[in-house]
Amino acid sequence: MYKKIEIKARKYLYNHGLNCPADLNYIMKKRKIILVHRKLTHDEAILIKDNHDKVIIVDKRQTLGQKRFNIAHELAHDILEHEGNIFTSRKAINLKNKSSADQQADIFASELLIPTPVLKRKARKYRYNLGLLARKFKVTRQAMITKMKIKKIHYNDNLYKDFYNNSFRNI
């Protein structure tokens, strides 16, 4: 299942001419989804759909990297055509506690934001430096660590720890 979802994400990027870092504003505009920032329980997001409108609501206190992942996760629910309104709590960190739809959305979001083939090329270019890679892909340090561990790519996290920051301009 995981491989199929990753392939769908890469095909989505390719079919829409998207490069890294993925332009989530473009995807939301293309899918006619409105983004709303509200105060939710920290690190949560929700996708609300009806016959006419689609809205993603994210917690306005999230870092940009976390916000990008949550938006990509909710976009994945829409792209993968999961039914109903989807509320995602980041408290269920363990994949075993998540629904199949949430597992699929996590995998799709990760591949949308950090496509494996691009990661492998960029990892070599940036000498496997975790901070530089996270900054390049506009994701959190933890998202990059998780992806690199899943893909069994070693990383260097010593010299540039303080260099990494979460001050990106565009979602």
Q: pLDDT tens digits, residue range 137-167? A: 999 999 999 999 999 999 988 644 444 444 4
Summarised one tens digit per residue, pLDDT across range 102-115 is: 999 999 999 999 99
What dihedral angle (degrees, nearest 10) is formed by the CA atoms of 64, 91, 145, 159? 60
- Global confidence as pTM: 0.85
Q: What is the arithmetic mean of pLDDT over 15-32?
A: 96
Cα(169)–Cα(30) distance, integer angstroms: 20
* pLDDT exceeds 70 at position 90: no
Phi, psi angle pair for 6, to nearest 5° = -60, -45
Residues whose CB is less than 8 angstroms from the CB of residue 83 and which lie 6 or more positions away in sequence, other chains included = none
Confidence of residue 170 (pLDDT cuts 50, 70, 90): low
Task: Delineate the domains of the chain, giving CATH numbers in brackets.
Answer: 2-113 (1.10.10.2910)
